Amino acid sequence: SAEDIIQLACSIIMLPHLIKAEEGMTYKLSWIDDELKSLKDTGFYNSIRTLDSPQGAWLVVDGKKVLNFCSNNYLGLANHPRLVQAATEAMQKYGVGPGAVRSIAGTMSLHLQLEKRMAAFKKVEAAITFQSGFSANGATIPALVGKEDVIFSDALNHASIIDGSRLSGAKIIRFAHADPVDFEKQIQAAAGTYRRALMITDGVFSMDGDLAPLDKLVEIAERYDMMTMVDDAHGEGVVGEGGRGIVDHFHLHGRVDVEVGTFSKAFGVVGGVVAGNARIIEWLRQRGRPFLFSSAVTVPDTAACLAAVDLLEESTELVDRLWANARYFQAEMRRLGFDTGATQTPITPVMLGEVQLAREFSRRLFDEGLFAMALGFPTVPQGMARIRVMLSAAHSQSDLDQALGIFHKVGKDLGVLRG
């Protein structure tokens, strides 16, 4: 194998670490080789495909033109001419990089404009932006709770919520997924054991496309005088009026303390945002560590995000098209005989069961010119492997029909569909 040849070549030129290895000592990084091999042997190794085109309904992936049903580019903004133009013009005026962390000399008027515009868009008191949704969680959670406190966290919350929660040092108490009754049970069981409490849930859960029962969770949290936070990464630009998010969807304005969002999904760019109570936003400018110790997103990112807010505020056309596409595609998939799970959003799981089948299905789709990811254990529970289809406003009617044709063919070929 190639590895053997390299090993041989190395031993001929007698690299010191390989001599040591021959003497029976292990090279200090060989544990990584072992770990990587074990990932490959057990099928958990991440093989990453390379794109050679902008994001859109079609992609060039590993040199092949394919229909794209993988991206979080819900509104087709990642390559929208208005965003590209705004980014280009801003670079002419402000250059590229922010030059320093926000609190030293890296806050540009564009960053502040974006924060103002996001607060208005979300109909909240204030907003603060971060480098990513991931770092927004890492900033917010440790700023709100510490060692003497508890976090009540939905069992399926995103990795960045889990990491932010661990970083805070607070006790993490998980409640059953999307289960207000269990949430309240957990609160009662923990009564008297903490100083402050924070309830955190994803708004839209990205594996199944289901919504958090935010109205019920907030109602319970209010009864126990607890802080509330929702991470609406997959809801921003998707749910609520004109894509204003899950708080808007449930008409909970003013009742959720913190809304975390991302500019990397429906907004088509990159960056994170925290919107909500003005006190909390002010506190994050003082205590959010990724805000204080890491530079902000660049000029073109910020300008492109502003153009995305403009588009969303001007018209609901893109959000409406996204939902029309999702409803059409999901209804047709069910009519073909596929199980699309419990989705309430444009995230469309196609339930297949075993991970081997899901992987084979994804490979066959790719051969037929459709790019959609297979998800299996441990990302989703054992026996609930699936293809996840991400709909977008960028898809045309003919894209959707072509995709349905490919799903039908592969479904029949692999015996998932009868007849």
**To the nearest whole angstrom, how small is the minimum distance from the Cβ of residue 162 to ligand PLP?**
10
Question: In this structure, are residues 129 and 186 in contact, taking their beta carbons and an 8 Å threshold?
Answer: no
| Contacts within 8 Å (CB) and 24+ apart, 48-51 | 49/371
Pairing of strands 197-202, 150-154: parallel
- Cβ-based nearer residue to ligand PLP, 345 or 357: 345
**To the nearest whole angstrom, how small is the minimum distance from the Cβ of residue 148 to ligand PLP?**
26
The verdict on whether 206 is a catalytic residue reads yes
Q: Does 231 bind ligand PLP (CB under 6 A)?
A: yes
Catalytic residue among 158, 265, 362, 395: 265
Catalytic residue among 80, 111, 122, 234: 234
CA 230, chain centre distance (Å): 13
**To the nearest whole angstrom, how small is the minimum distance from the Cβ of residue 264 to ligand PLP?**
4
How far apart CA 262 and CA 308 sit, in angstroms, is: 12
Question: What is the SS3 assignment for 367?
Answer: helix
- Cβ-based nearer residue to ligand PLP, 134 or 371: 134
Classify residue 283 by burial, with Cβ atoms within 10 Å: 0-12, 13-18, 19+. middle
Q: Does 235 bind ligand PLP (CB under 6 A)?
A: no
Q: Does 388 bind ligand PLP (CB under 6 A)?
A: no
HEC letters along 106-162: HCCHHHHHHHHHHHHHHCCCEEEEECCHHHHHHHHHHHHCCCCCEEEEECCCCHHHH
Kindly report the number of other CB atoms within 10 A of residue 208's CB atom: 24
Which of 115, 154, 202, 210 touches ligand PLP by CB under 6 A?
Answer: 202
Helix spans in 250-298 (H): 278-287, 289-293
- Cβ-based nearer residue to ligand PLP, 237 or 411: 237
DSSP letter at 240 equals S
The verdict on whether 168 is a catalytic residue reads no
- Cβ-based nearer residue to ligand PLP, 160 or 330: 160
Give the residue closest to ligand PLP by C-beta. 133
**To the nearest whole angstrom, how small is the minimum distance from the Cβ of residue 133 to ligand PLP?**
3
In 326-346, which positions are buried (b, 16+ CB within 10 angstroms) versus exposed (e)?
A: bebbbebbeeeebebbebebb
The Cβ-side half-sphere exposure at 322, using a 13 Å CA radius, reads 28
Q: Does 201 bind ligand PLP (CB under 6 A)?
A: no
**To the nearest whole angstrom, how small is the minimum distance from the Cβ of residue 270 to ligand PLP?**
7
* Cα 248–Cα 163–Cα 181 angle in degrees, nearest 5: 55
How far apart CA 105 and CA 107 sit, in angstroms, is: 6
Binding mask 391-410 for ligand PLP (x = CB under 6 A): --------------------
* Cα 385–Cα 391–Cα 397 angle in degrees, nearest 5: 130
Question: What is the SS3 assignment for 10?
Answer: helix
DSSP letter at 51 equals B
- Cβ-based nearer residue to ligand PLP, 205 or 250: 205
H or E element in which residue 263 lies:
none
**To the nearest whole angstrom, how small is the minimum distance from the Cβ of residue 240 to ligand PLP?**
16
Question: What is the SS3 assignment for 271?
Answer: coil
- Cβ-based nearer residue to ligand PLP, 231 or 399: 231
How far apart CA 194 and CA 89 sit, in angstroms, is: 51
Peptide bond into 378 cis (omega under 30): yes
The Cβ-side half-sphere exposure at 381, using a 13 Å CA radius, reads 6
Binding mask 159-188 for ligand PLP (x = CB under 6 A): -x----------------------------
How far apart CA 88 and CA 215 sit, in angstroms, is: 41
Which of 87, 119, 233, 299 touches ligand PLP by CB under 6 A?
Answer: 233
Q: Does 158 bind ligand PLP (CB under 6 A)?
A: yes
**To the nearest whole angstrom, how small is the minimum distance from the Cβ of residue 291 to ligand PLP?**
15
Q: Does 110 bind ligand PLP (CB under 6 A)?
A: no
Applying CB under 6 A, which part among 100-108, 146-154, 226-234, 371-379 lies near ligand PLP? 226-234
Catalytic residue among 132, 160, 168, 206: 206
**To the nearest whole angstrom, how small is the minimum distance from the Cβ of residue 7 to ligand PLP?**
38
Q: Does 245 bind ligand PLP (CB under 6 A)?
A: no
Q: Does 132 bind ligand PLP (CB under 6 A)?
A: yes
Which of 129, 165, 206, 228 touches ligand PLP by CB under 6 A?
Answer: 206
Q: Does 272 bind ligand PLP (CB under 6 A)?
A: yes
The verdict on whether 392 is a catalytic residue reads no
User: Among all residues, which ones are annotated catalytic?
Assistant: 206, 234, 265
Interface contacts to ligand PLP, rule CB under 6 A: 132-134, 158, 160, 202, 206, 231, 233-234, 262, 264, 272
